[in-house]
């Protein structure tokens, strides 16, 4: 294995629950809108990747949304405001890395395994988060970084993963991905990359068929090592498979 490719939102940190969702609600308030997204509603909206796309999807189902011709401008304004609020939150240390993430990144660096990022979040959001978690020179730790602006189609489309492979000059079987959501898993698998799952809070009960392994996080039940990535080294969560029937 030559590279470990990280998803960002939900995988590196619980950014959806602790960052994007409250920032969306603060942006609604800042623009004088009565809309507030509950955690349950947001969990359902997460199948739409990309903040602007998510806003437009939500507006399409709202009786109090502006006329269709005005929605793109409103979504752009809200998204800009949300990302600024998100960056402020991150900068004041409100969002920590998930267990084991920084440890496994360090292990990769020591072992000469390249690190990469494949995310649908905006580049500014990735900048804010990694500058806080890894320091201002964070970009030098990663051999390739692809964000929402880099791929014409967002996850579950595999484009962002294909782009990262291209930038790393690797074949799919030379890389391994870590994701937290079914759409992320579909994107990695669509690019032919093996993928392990550390389910984030919104996807604790989701179906992750096709994943190399599924676990609560990189430290539970035991630290996930570089060697363990391809061995499974994990305990499956979610419904257990039905026992094989005997004739």
**How many residues bind to Mg ion according to rule CB under 5 A?**
6
7 is catalytic: yes
Residue number with CB closer to Mg ion (7 or 14)? 7
Q: How far is CA 160 from the centre of its chain?
A: 12
**Which range binds Mg ion by CB under 5 A, 7-15, 28-36, 54-62, 224-232?**
7-15
Task: Give bridge partners of residue 9 from the DSSP assignment.
Answer: 13
One residue of 3, 4, 10, 145 binding ligand XBP per CB under 6 A: 10
Chain position carrying tokens 């026992």? 243
Q: Does 116 bind ligand XBP (CB under 6 A)?
A: no
Report the nearest approach of ligand XBP to the CB of residue 115 (Å): 15
Q: How far is CA 61 from the centre of its chain?
A: 25
Chain position carrying tokens 């676990």? 215
Site string for ligand XBP, 188-227 (x = CB under 6 A): ----------------------------------------
One residue of 42, 87, 114, 122 binding ligand XBP per CB under 6 A: 122
Q: Report d(CA 179, CA 54) in Å as an integer.
A: 19
Sheet holding 3-6, edge to edge: 144-146, 114-118, 3-6, 175-179, 194-198, 213-215
- Return phi, psi of residue 196, to 5°: -105, 155
Q: Does 26 bind Mg ion (CB under 5 A)?
A: no
Specify whether the CB–CB gap between 139 and 133 falls below 8 A: no
Task: Give bridge partners of residue 146 from the DSSP assignment.
Answer: 118
One residue of 129, 184, 194, 218 binding ligand XBP per CB under 6 A: 184
9 is catalytic: yes
Report the nearest approach of Mg ion to the CB of residue 16 (Å): 8
Q: Does 180 bind Mg ion (CB under 5 A)?
A: yes
Report CA-CA distances (Å) from 87 to 94, 123, 147, 203: 10, 11, 16, 24
One residue of 13, 115, 120, 145 binding ligand XBP per CB under 6 A: 120
Q: Does 10 bind Mg ion (CB under 5 A)?
A: yes
**Which range binds Mg ion by CB under 5 A, 23-31, 100-108, 168-176, 184-192?**
184-192
Q: Does 50 bind ligand XBP (CB under 6 A)?
A: yes
Specify whether the CB–CB gap between 194 and 176 falls below 8 A: yes
Specify whether the CB–CB gap between 180 and 203 falls below 8 A: yes
Residue number with CB closer to ligand XBP (25 or 83)? 83
Q: Does 20 bind ligand XBP (CB under 6 A)?
A: yes
Report CA-CA distances (Å) from 171 to 157, 164, 176, 191, 232: 18, 10, 11, 10, 21
60 to 99, contacts with ligand XBP by CB under 6 A?
A: 79, 83
Report the nearest approach of Mg ion to the CB of residue 127 (Å): 17
Residues classed as catalytic? 7, 9
């Amino acid at each position: 294995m030559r590279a470990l490719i990280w998803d960002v939102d939900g995988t590196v940190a619980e950014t959806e629950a602790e960052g994007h969702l409250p920032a969306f609600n603060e942006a609604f308030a800042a623009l004088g809108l009565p809309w507030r997204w509950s955690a349950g509603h947001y969990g359902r909206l997460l199948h739409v990747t990309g903040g602007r796309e998510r806003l437009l999807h939500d507006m399409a189902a709202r009786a109090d949304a502006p006329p269709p011709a005005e929605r793109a401008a409103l979504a752009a304004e809200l998204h800009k405001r949300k990302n600024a609020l998100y960056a402020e939150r991150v900068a004041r240390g409100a969002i920590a890395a998930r267990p084991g993430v920084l440890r496994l990144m360090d292990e990769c660096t020591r072992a000469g395994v390249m690190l990469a990022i494949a995310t649908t979040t905006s580049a500014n959001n990735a900048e804010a988060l990694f500058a806080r978690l890894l320091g201002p020179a964070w970009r030098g730790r990663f051999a390739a970084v692809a964000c929402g602006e880099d791929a014409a189609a967002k996850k579950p489309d595999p484009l962002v993963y294909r782009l990262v492979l291209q930038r790393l000059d690797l074949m799919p079987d030379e890389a391994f991905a870590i994701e937290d959501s079914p759409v992320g898993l579909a994107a990695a698998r669509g690019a032919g990359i093996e993928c392990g799952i550390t389910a984030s809070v919104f996807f604790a009960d989701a179906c992750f068929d096709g994943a190399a392994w599924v676990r609560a996080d990189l430290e539970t039940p035991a630290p996930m090592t570089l060697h363990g990535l391809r061995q499974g080294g994990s305990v499956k969560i979610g419904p257990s498979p039905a026992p094989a029937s005997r004739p």
